[in-house]
Every structure is written in structure tokens, then in C-alpha cells.
């Protein structure tokens, strides 16, 4: 019998790959993981995707499918000692010992030394590593470990996937089958889930529990009331994690230092990774401030280095200083818009040829073909400038960078007008 204290998401966790909802590119009939499992060969891998899309479930099912021992560690609570103990168990003998699966949840929270401790066992095949992360593994997993793993991206669940999960819960969960439940309106529940199956099912269960008498009629109003009344804590793996980060970024972008510090405090109190916070500020310094204040990027990157050097709890002060500085800085997204416009031009016009006078000419043949000919060295001109064409012919005169309305970029605009005499207007 189902334990009422066990969350619904856990009670209906898939017991076989065929029950997995979504991720058909991985576990569907033609999915890459399905084919690997059919061949009995499984590489070490990193499962990258948002919360609640099945990373932990997939890891367990893969182990079951291949009938291998399954070890699990959480990067939040495990250290190098725990990793070594698991590796020793996996290499200590037994029929499947050398092909044991080690699942590490939140592997992005492992330090470099902790990740280094995995390298030998992964290389030798003592363990098959499955790491789960919500963060980009290119930034969070050391290159030596990443090169030994395949990275598989899990996608947010679609609305149809989430609806099928609800139907499964209604028809398979013993506790829900005792109730009379009508799914009258689903829009609010879908919005509240944010593509996260765990959040969908747990919110749904709260709605059922909030309706003591049958029938339980699920409406948008009921969902909103339950979501409002539920005690909220900072969930580093859930939707609130992304909502608070979003509020933090938008507060700095909106030049509100008080709100920025408040949302920073929410993350600090919730145990957020300081490097996660610092990286977001580095991105904002370029995307939203840019050349309106070039020192902002220096400030943000220095903050990231200082926070890494100092650690908790003192680095909260460093993060606060940077957040306030960025919030109070003049803003410009012209660099962000410029690279977007340039990328659009590349996609639209294809591989335009480099003008001959700009080409490199390391060989005599290339020189004979005109590579580099007629190039004028800019420093030979007055004011270190010589007018010539630097864009492909088809894009001549195209404006990608439009300086913002701030003192620094007004200087850029004046310089462009003076040097290029109306070419970029």
C-alpha cells in the first residue's frame, strides 16, 4: 500500500524506460540512450536539463536495465572520501563490480578536487559515471572529466507530457484512486509547474489534499489559492530558484539597488552557490551595461575571482558590493544587440568572402593571387586611421552597433561619425 507521507511524484516514479514521459530523443524507439542500452554498452555521461525532467529517474532505470549495481551520491553532502569509498566498493570484486553505475546528483557543485577524484575510475571503467546537473556542464564540469563523458540534454516537458503524467497519476496511484477528481481547468497548474514534473505532481497533490470532500474539482482558482497559501522556501533545484535569479537580474537591470540586495539576500540565505550568483553578474555587466561603463565587466569578473578566493560567509559582502555597483551603473545593451544583429546577418547572407586586401598572405602563391594587396596599415594614417572597406562587399555600410544614449557611447557615436563621414548612419 502507498505511504501517504510519500510525495506523489515519488509514488508514481517510472519503473521502466517505457514509462518515461518525454525525452524521446534519448529513450524513445530511436533514442540514442535506448540504442546504447540495447547494445549493452553505456558511456559515462552528464545529464543536463532543468529540474523535474527525469534526470535521477533515468539514471536509476539505466542501472536496472543493464542489471548493474547502483551507487548514488549528492554533491551537496558528499566529499572526496565518499567518492573513494564508492570506487573501492565498485572495484572490490563481484560479477558486476567493474561496471557499477555511480550517480552524482548536482555534479556541478563538486569542487575541482572532488571531480578529479573520479577521473581514474571513469578512465579505467571501474564505474560508469552518470552526473546530473541543471547548469551548463561546459562551465561547471572540469574539462578532463567532461572529455570522458557524453553530454545528453534533457528538454523541459511539454504540456502534453504533463497532462499524460496527471492521467497516469489518476489511474495508477492508490491514494488518488480513492478520491473522485475532475480536471476541469489545467491552465494555472501548467503555469505553476514550469515544465517540472515534480512540481506539477506535488502541486496537484496539494490541491487534492486542500479539498477534503469529494468530488475534487481542479480549477485555476483552486491552484492559485494552494500556490499562494503553501509555505515557500528557496528551492535550489526548483522553479523558485530561477524566479529569484530572474528578479535579481531584472532589479540590477532596472537600476534598483535595494531590490537587488534583497533578492541577493534570498539566495544567500537559501544556500545558493556564490559562483552561480557571480556568473550571472558577469553576464549582466556585459549584456545590460556594456560600454556605458566598461569598468562594470572588470568589477564583475574581479568579484567572481574574489568570491572564489574568500568563500562563505564573507564573500556575500563582495557580491553585495558588486550588485549595488551594477544596479547604480548607467545601462546599455548595444553590444548585446550588435552581436545579435551580426549573427542574424551571417545566417541570412551565408559565408561572405573576406575582401582580398584583408586576407592573410603567408605564401607566394597567395600574394600572387592578390591576397593582402592594397591593404593600408591603419597606423600610417592621420590619427591612426585609414579609410578602407572592412566588411564583405555585400554588407558594406551595414550598421550592427548603434551606440546607446549615455556619455561613453555618445563618444563612440561621435568617433564613428568623424572617422567614417556618414558611411554608418
Which is more confident, 235 or 282? Answer: 282
Quickly name the fold that domain 23-153 has: Rossmann fold (3.40.50)
Of 147, 150, 152, 80, nearest to 118 by C-alpha is: 80
Q: Work out the average pLDDT over 36-59.
A: 83
Grid coordinates representing 6 are 510519500
Percent with pLDDT over 70 in the chain = 93
The neighbour count for residue 393, using CB atoms within 10 Å, is 9
Q: Interior CA angle at 14 toward 33 and 185, to 5°?
A: 115
What DSSP element (H or E) covers 224?
helix 220-229
Distance CA 303, CA 297 (A): 10
CATH number for the domain whose boundaries are 239-328 = 1.20.272.10
Output the pLDDT for position 15. 83
Judged on CB neighbours under 10 Å (0-12, 13-18, 19+), 408 is middle
For residue 127, is pLDDT > 60?
A: yes
DSSP 158: P
Q: Could you give the CA distance from residue 118 to residue 102 in angstroms, rounded to a whole number?
A: 10
pLDDT for the residue 23: 82
- The total of other beta-carbon atoms located within 10 Å of residue 114's CB is 20
> What topology does CATH give the domain 159-229?
Helicase, Ruva Protein; domain 3 (1.10.8)
The model's pLDDT over 151-192, given as tens digits with 9 standing for 90+, comes to: 888 888 888 888 888 888 888 888 888 888 888 888 888 887
Decide: helix, strand or coil at residue 128.
Answer: strand
Determine how β-strand 150-153 pairs with β-strand 181-183.
unpaired
Q: Enumerate the domain spans of the chain.
A: 23-153, 159-229, 239-328, 341-420
Residue 128: pLDDT over 80: yes
Residues 386 and 374: beta-carbon distance below 8 Å: no
- 324 against 209, higher pLDDT: 324
pLDDT (tens digit per residue) in 201-228: 888 888 888 888 888 888 888 888 887 7
Tell me the CA distances in angstroms from 36 to 64, 128, 129, one per residue in order.
14, 13, 15
- The pLDDT of 274-291, averaged and rounded, is 92
Asked, colleague to colleague, whether 239-328 and 341-420 share their fold, the answer is: no
Cβ count near 409 (within 10 Å): 21
Q: What is the pLDDT of residues 62-101, one digit of tens each?
A: 888 777 788 888 776 777 788 888 888 777 655 444 478 8
pLDDT (average), residues 332-356: 89
Topology of the domain comprising 341-420: post-AAA+ oligomerization domain-like (1.10.3710)
279 and 305 Cβ atoms separated by less than 8 Å: no
Closest C-alpha to 218, from 174, 172, 167, 158? 167
In this structure, are residues 55 and 151 in contact, taking their beta carbons and an 8 Å threshold?
no
Q: Which pLDDT belongs to residue 233?
A: 47
| Close Cβ partners of 133 (under 8 Å, ≥ 6 residues apart) | 46, 47, 48, 106, 107, 108, 140, 141
pLDDT tens profile 231-278: 444 455 444 567 788 889 999 999 989 999 999 998 887 778 888 899
The predicted model scores a pTM of: 0.53
Q: How confident is the model at residue 295 (pLDDT cuts 50, 70, 90)?
A: very high
User: How far is Cα 275 from Cα 356, in angstroms, rounded to an integer?
Assistant: 45
pLDDT tens, residue by residue, 130-147: 888 888 788 778 888 888
Between residues 332 and 192, the one the model is more confident about: 332
Amino acid at each position: 500500500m502507498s505511504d501517504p507521507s510519500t510525495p506523489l511524484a515519488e509514488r508514481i516514479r517510472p519503473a521502466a524506460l517505457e514509462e518515461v514521459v518525454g525525452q524521446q530523443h534519448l529513450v524513445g524507439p530511436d533514442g540514442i540512450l535506448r540504442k546504447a542500452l540495447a547494445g549493452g554498452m553505456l558511456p559515462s555521461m552528464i545529464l543536463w536539463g532543468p529540474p523535474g525532467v527525469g534526470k535521477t529517474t533515468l539514471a536509476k532505470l539505466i542501472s536496472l536495465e543493464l542489471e548493474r549495481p547502483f551507487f548514488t551520491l549528492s554533491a551537496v553532502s558528499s566529499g572526496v572520501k565518499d567518492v573513494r569509498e564508492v570506487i573501492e566498493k565498485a572495484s572490490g570484486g563481484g560479477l558486476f563490480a567493474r561496471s557499477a553505475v555511480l550517480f552524482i546528483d548536482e555534479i556541478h557543485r563538486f569542487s575541482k578536487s572532488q571531480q578529479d577524484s573520479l577521473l581514474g575510475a571513469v578512465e579505467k571503467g571501474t564505474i560508469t559515471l552518470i552526473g546530473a546537473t541543471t547548469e551548463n556542464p561546459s562551465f561547471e564540469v572540469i574539462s578532463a572529466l567532461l572529455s570522458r563523458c557524453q553530454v545528453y540534454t534533457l528538454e523541459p516537458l511539454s504540456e502534453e507530457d504533463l497532462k499524460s503524467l496527471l492521467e497516469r497519476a489518476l489511474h495508477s496511484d492508490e491514494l488518488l484512486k480513492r478520491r473522485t477528481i475532475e480536471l476541469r481547468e489545467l491552465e494555472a497548474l501548467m503555469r505553476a509547474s514550469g515544465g517540472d514534473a515534480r512540481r506539477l505532481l506535488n502541486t496537484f497533490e496539494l490541491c487534492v489534499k486542500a479539498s477534503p470532500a469529494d468530488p475534487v474539482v481542479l480549477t485555476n482558482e483552486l491552484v492559485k489559492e494552494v500556490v499562494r497559501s503553501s509555505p515557500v522556501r528557496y528551492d535550489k533545484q526548483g522553479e523558485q530558484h530561477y524566479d529569484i535569479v530572474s528578479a535579481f537580474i531584472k532589479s540590477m537591470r532596472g537600476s534598483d539597488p535595494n531590490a537587488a540586495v534583497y533578492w541577493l539576500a534570498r539566495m544567500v540565505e537559501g544556500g545558493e552557490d556564490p559562483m552561480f550568483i557571480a556568473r550571472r553578474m558577469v553576464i549582466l555587466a556585459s549584456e545590460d551595461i556594456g560600454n556605458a561603463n566598461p569598468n562594470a565587466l572588470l568589477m564583475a569578473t574581479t568579484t567572481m575571482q574574489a568570491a572564489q578566493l574568500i568563500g562563505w560567509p564573507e564573500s556575500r559582502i563582495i557580491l553585495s558590493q558588486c550588485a549595488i555597483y551594477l544596479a547604480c551603473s548607467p545601462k546599455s545593451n548595444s553590444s548585446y544587440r550588435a552581436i545579435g544583429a551580426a549573427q542574424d546577418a551571417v545566417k541570412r547572407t551565408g559565408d561572405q568572402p573576406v575582401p582580398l586586401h584583408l586576407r592573410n598572405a603567408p605564401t607566394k602563391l597567395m600574394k600572387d593571387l592578390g591576397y593582402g594587396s592594397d591593404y593600408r596599415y591603419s597606423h600610417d594614417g592621420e590619427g591612426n586611421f585609414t579609410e578602407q572597406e572592412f566588411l564583405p562587399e555585400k554588407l558594406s555600410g551595414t550598421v550592427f552597433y548603434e551606440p546607446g544614449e549615455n556619455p561613453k557611447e555618445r563618444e563612440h557615436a561621435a568617433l564613428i561619425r568623424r572617422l567614417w563621414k556618414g558611411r554608418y548612419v
